[in-house]
């Protein structure tokens, strides 16, 4: 999928993304910022920032003397982020619609990306470039799904799509990239290969109760939504109904959203 296509998918997901944030994205974002150890006065770049689940706590931690550049392709998500920052009274964060792969800025103290590196074209080169935006001693923090997280959910959703399409459902385009960095060992090695030192990987366990309504919100408020591209509304409704039935039949009542948070320092 192209960068423009990814932006379009997440623009359409904006409402549901915001609705599920307190259960999912906000909790992962807060854990990422805690691992990044954002301090007062820090300059932070938040890549693939969405509606700000990690940019907002980073701005709170950086304080008035710091600043957060929050960058994403999805304008609707950014609008949610701006409204949230205004409600929090934060004046040290700006949400910018831009391509992270060409972003230029000052030397940052922290560059962070929560569940976004696998959407970047050429993940390796893109993240190596982002590491280059850090000052010496600055910290790069990447959060990704742990092996097994979202997988049962994804398989059941794919089964529902295949039932309606009558053809195999194509997996999300990010799936291969995710699988390269979904263990502590693989994420540690990958960050080290980006030229970082003092690399650590922290597991953030997260399990959320699941019913058919919430499961469908997760589909519509995440990258899974892209799998529905090209389906007419009646077919989408069939997928929703089939997915709900499968969840009940398979007794899936919990969503594994465990993440790995990798951090490293630019020499």
pLDDT in tens, the chain (267 residues): 445 455 565 666 678 888 899 999 999 999 999 999 999 999 999 999 999 999 999 999 999 999 999 999 999 999 999 999 999 999 999 999 999 999 998 999 999 999 999 999 899 999 999 999 999 999 999 999 999 999 999 999 999 999 999 877 665 556 688 999 999 999 999 999 999 999 999 999 999 999 999 999 999 988 888 888 888 999 999 999 999 999 999 999 999 999 999 999 999
Which residues, at least 6 apart from 17, have a Cβ–Cβ distance to it below 8 Å? 10, 25, 50, 51, 77, 80, 221, 222
Q: What is the pairing mode between strands 67-72 and 93-97? A: parallel
Q: Which residue has the tokens 């600043």?
A: 67
What's the pTM value of the predicted model, to 2 decimals?
0.91
- Looking at residue 174, its pLDDT comes to 63
Where are any strands of DSSP class E within the chain?
43-47, 67-72, 93-97, 108-114, 134-145, 197-204, 207-209, 254-256, 259-265
Find tokens 């060992």 and name the residue.
185
Question: Using CA atoms, how far apart are residues 60 and 39, in angstroms rounded to an integer?
Answer: 9
Specify the pLDDT at position 159: 96
Range 3-147+173-210+256-265: architecture per CATH = 3-Layer(aba) Sandwich (3.40)
CA–CA gap between residue 134 and residue 111 (Å, rounded): 7
Q: Domain residues of the chain, as ranges?
A: 3-147+173-210+256-265
Where does residue 91 rank: exposed (0-12), middle (13-18), buried (19+ CB within 10 A)? exposed
Q: What is the pLDDT of residue 99?
A: 95
Contact 33, 61 (CB under 8 A): yes
Tokens of 163: 């039932």
Give the whole-angstrom CA distance, residue 188 versus residue 180.
Answer: 11
Half-sphere exposure of 212 (CA within 13 A, CB side): 15
Tokens representing residue 24 in the block: 């999912």
pLDDT computed for residue 131 by the predictor: 98
């Amino acid at each position: 999928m192209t960068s423009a296509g990814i932006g379009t998918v997440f623009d359409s997901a904006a409402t549901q993304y915001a609705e599920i944030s307190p259960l999912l994205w906000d909790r992962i974002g807060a854990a990422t910022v805690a691992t990044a150890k954002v301090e007062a006065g820090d300059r932070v770049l938040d890549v693939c920032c969405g509606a700000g689940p990690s940019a907002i706590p980073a701005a709170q931690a950086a304080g008035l003397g710091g600043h957060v550049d929050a960058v994403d392709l999805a304008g609707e998500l950014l609008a949610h982020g701006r409204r949230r920052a205004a409600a929090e009274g934060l004046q040290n964060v700006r949400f910018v619609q831009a391509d992270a792969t060409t972003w230029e800025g000052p030397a940052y103290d922290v560059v962070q990306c929560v569940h976004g590196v696998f959407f970047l074209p050429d993940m390796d080169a893109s993240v190596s470039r982002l590491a280059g935006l850090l000052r010496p001693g600055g910290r790069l923090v990447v959060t990704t799904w742990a092996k097994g997280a979202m997988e049962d959910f994804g398989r059941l959703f794919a089964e529902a799509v295949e039932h309606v399409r009558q053809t195999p459902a194509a997996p999300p385009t990010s799936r291969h990239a995710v699988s390269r960095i979904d263990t502590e060992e693989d994420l540690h090695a990958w960050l080290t290969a980006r030229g970082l030192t003092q690399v650590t990987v922290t597991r953030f366990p997260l399990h959320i109760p699941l019913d058919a309504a919430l499961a469908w919100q997760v589909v519509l408020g995440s990258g899974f939504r892209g799998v529905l591209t090209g389906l007419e509304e009646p077919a989408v409704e069939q997928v929703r109904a089939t997915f709900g039935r499968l969840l009940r039949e398979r007794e899936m009542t919990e969503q594994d959203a465990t993440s790995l948070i990798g951090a490293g320092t630019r020499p």
